[in-house]
Amino acid sequence: MKFSNYFKNYYINIFDRIYISEDALLYKESKKAIERLSLPVKEIVSAKDIPEEHLNSKTLFITKRKGALVTRCPGTRRHICCNYLTVDLYEGCTLGCSYCIMKSYLNFSPITVYVDSSASIEEIKRIALSNKDRIVRVGTGEVGDSLQFDPLFEMSADFIQGLADTENVYFEAKTKTCFVDHLLEIKNKGNGVISFSLNPEEIILTEETEAFSLDNRLDAATKAVKAGYNLAFHFDPVICEEEWEKRYLDTIEKLSVFPKEKIKWISIGTLRYPPDLKEKIAQAERPYLFDEFVPCADGKYRYLQRRRKEVYRKLYNRLKEVTNSSIYFCMESDTIWNYAAGNVPGKIPETTWLFKKISDMDVASRAATRTSSAAFLARVGGQRP
């Protein structure tokens, strides 16, 4: 891919410096990014060698993964989890979402990129081979935006091509950008899924200040599906501000232009946050914090249950009319599922495949140690980037 001046300027406006661990020096992705950015570079042994004054998002840290190659979505206690698998590829982002759980602990961390993608690809293949009777969904959007920095490193292409011939793997790259052009010419896309986190434009302008517009994201989705990719969409978090119903239903209506068979899944999740994040939101004086929230069994604050029931039922019903997709609720209880969807996911035919559990042994045998980011998310949960 030709690295355009647009991207060079975009990343130069984000980063001031690069640190790279010694074990990541020889990777082609490292060399590519360093050459493209032309920023000051310092070799170090580990993240511990980064000076305190550089522990922020103006620093790009390139390293090799320590610990788990593939982990489970940490889920949340006493709520239904969809058994999604994750790879930490890009950790942290600069898209400025006011509600993002990363604000609870990544404010003083560099943007971290793990360049050893081949080992994770092989681990995903091994898991898929051990679970031939089910679809394995895996993605890189758990602790960072999958595509914000991908035009710089071009690692998503490795996953898409490397997993293309593994028939029961759906690899998902999730984003709030429109950065898909570098992936369009890949010939063998397999079951590759490019997905977009969506909110009404009014929410994007006020709560996702550095992310890309709704139209930008949907235009990118159009490019992706025309190039042969599957799509997925995530309405998470749904924020119940003034006229929320009309705004979200209007946004859902925009999905009607996409081929129904190409939208593989859609998730819905209402705004939620742990106590640590509540303090950050309060400091930013976000208006949605003045709504009614209650602490739930997992320690996170959510809208009152009757409010959530209303939101989920209305959005679920409309999505069922506009798409034929598998629709699921993120981090919700069986009470919500029964009210909004009529049953729990394992008993809804179109969602059964999403919730079929992967054997613990298959994932845990080589991934017993979780990365620090995944461990944190397991403790507090919350909206992802």
Tens-binned pLDDT, residue by residue, of the chain (385 aa): 689 999 999 999 999 999 999 999 999 999 999 999 999 999 999 999 999 999 999 999 999 988 889 998 877 767 888 889 999 999 999 999 999 887 765 555 899 999 999 999 999 999 999 999 999 999 999 899 999 999 999 999 999 999 999 999 999 999 999 999 999 999 999 999 999 999 999 999 999 999 999 999 999 999 999 999 999 999 999 999 989 999 999 999 999 999 999 999 999 999 999 888 888 888 888 999 999 999 998 889 999 999 999 999 999 999 999 999 999 999 899 999 999 999 999 899 999 999 888 875 344 434 444 444 544 444 444 565 6
Spatial distance between the Cα atoms of 1 and 18, rounded to a whole number of angstroms: 22
**Structure confidence at residue 87 (pLDDT):** 96
Taking CA 184 as the corner, what is the angle to CA 219 and CA 254, rounded to the nearest 5 degrees? 20
Bridge partners (DSSP) listed for residue 86:
71, 139
**Structure confidence at residue 136 (pLDDT):** 96
- Of the candidates 149, 235, 229, the one whose C-alpha atom is nearest the C-alpha of residue 193 is 229
Omega prior to 385 cis, within 30 of 0: no
**Structure confidence at residue 109 (pLDDT):** 86
pTM of the model: 0.93
Say if residues 317 and 62 touch (Cβ distance below 8 Å): no
Sheet containing 111-114: give its strands across: 41-44, 17-21, 59-63, 111-114, 90-91
- Phi, psi dihedral angles at 138 (to 5 degrees): -145, 140
Other Cβ atoms closer than 10 A to 306: 9
Q: Which two tokens stand for residue 339?
A: 């009210």
Spatial distance between the Cα atoms of 372 and 181, rounded to a whole number of angstroms: 32
**Structure confidence at residue 378 (pLDDT):** 44
End-to-end CA distance of the chain: 26
The kind and range of the H/E element at 112 are strand 111-114
